[in-house]
Structure 1
């Protein structure tokens, strides 16, 4: 089994984050530092350690939905000692981590798990999982700006895939919009709104695929229901 896949199944992090940890020299196999992504391990024979702590396959899979507040980082560790989403989860013995990310200043739906396969499915662009956001933005976009947003915008070094944006409410100098995207690049929604000259004032993710945040209060979490887990695995 590839080392990064084994790490994900052990609940260390997603495959992509595990790959970064390998490249940073944080992973040892049988006592030796390994930084080659092609490394394979035998879960029954090899001893793998991350940051000098032995890891093992998680037998119990955990699936959690969190309503992330603004002011928390979507990481397990933070070098600046900021508040982390993992701090909001109590009573869990298994090592879990966030699926994907939400910016420090963005609130809303976030999944946490120790299931590396599900994490891969929900974060890899090829699966095109829809994410829905409600945003308060400066000004009111006109027809041309809305069409540009929907048809793809050049952000940094890439062009965004086609997306949806609809105005829900209009105010004197701002508006509320619903945004649907199938990607999840760093600060993508904010960058897209900046590109059409309507910067985000507030941003909240309200659904991933057909799993909705619902009435879950900010800062609270719950286990995903069996039917929700089954649905996500079948995507």
Structure 2
């Protein structure tokens, strides 16, 4: 037996959280009957349908890729404003991929994508402290006092961030290039952290997630993760 949300996630249809939404909204049928029980256990022989489509997690081949997201793309699967999405960059992959975490419209860099909803759920769960590394260009001077505040946590509007790793790469008269590592994933968190200490982010790129590094992957291109990288993520 397997919990329903996990079954849907492993079929590559959605994350566990989204699978629960489908169930609660009456979009899931088991053996032809609508099931709204979030804790339902799928048994051998059960026929599972989501939005009228039969799914089978066992038939789904897992795909794991790293994308170097350019500016001007959103990580949602579609956009009501008609903006380009990261799905446009992976159209040649014969699988329904969704993003592990987010990068905002004006942020470039590493984005992991997969059809393994179970892994995506695991990697984005708050209990897993996987550091994300960003390189930012911010306005003005980043003083030692500001660095200390960023390292110890700052209030970004009703939420105090956890401790971060901060390293100044280059200090110029009007701007600073800095590397920052955080494990939380609040919306626009890095930008809000620098704004909290008085330095506006001018450019932002994610260069690593845990031990996975962007390296020389070209902007707008993707590559499949190696077996070693996949194993690292599964054991993180």
Residues 193 and 33 of structure 1: CA distance in aligned 2, closer, same or farther (over 3 Å):
farther
C-alpha distance in 1 between matches for 2:192 and 2:30 = 40
Residues 39 and 78 of structure 1: CA distance in aligned 2, closer, same or farther (over 3 Å):
farther
Q: Which residue in 2 is equivalent to 1:223? A: 224
C-alpha distance in 2 between matches for 1:24 and 1:104 = 30
Kept after mapping to 1: 8 A contact 2:155/2:161: yes
Q: Which residue in 1 is equivalent to 2:201? A: 200
Under a length normalisation based on structure 2, what TM-score does the superposition of the two structures give? 0.90
Is it true that 1:56 corresponds to 2:56 in the alignment? yes
Q: Which residue in 2 is equivalent to 1:158? A: 159
Residues 95 and 229 of structure 1: CA distance in aligned 2, closer, same or farther (over 3 Å):
same
* Bigger shift: residues 129-138 or 21-30: 21-30
Residues 96 and 147 of structure 1: CA distance in aligned 2, closer, same or farther (over 3 Å):
same
Q: Which residue in 2 is equivalent to 1:126? A: 127
Kept after mapping to 1: 8 A contact 2:154/2:161: yes
Kept after mapping to 2: 8 A contact 1:6/1:43: no
Q: Which residue in 1 is equivalent to 2:77? A: 76
C-alpha distance in 1 between matches for 2:123 and 2:164 = 17
Alpha-carbon shift at residue 46 of structure 1 (Å) = 3.1
| CA offsets 1:120-149 (integer angstroms, 9 cap, x no match) | 232112110011000011111212211111
Alignment of 1:93-104 (within 5 A): 93-104=94-105
Q: How many residues align?
A: 234
Kept after mapping to 2: 8 A contact 1:65/1:112: yes
Kept after mapping to 2: 8 A contact 1:169/1:176: yes
Under a length normalisation based on structure 1, what TM-score does the superposition of the two structures give? 0.90
Runs of 5+ unmatched residues, structure 1: none
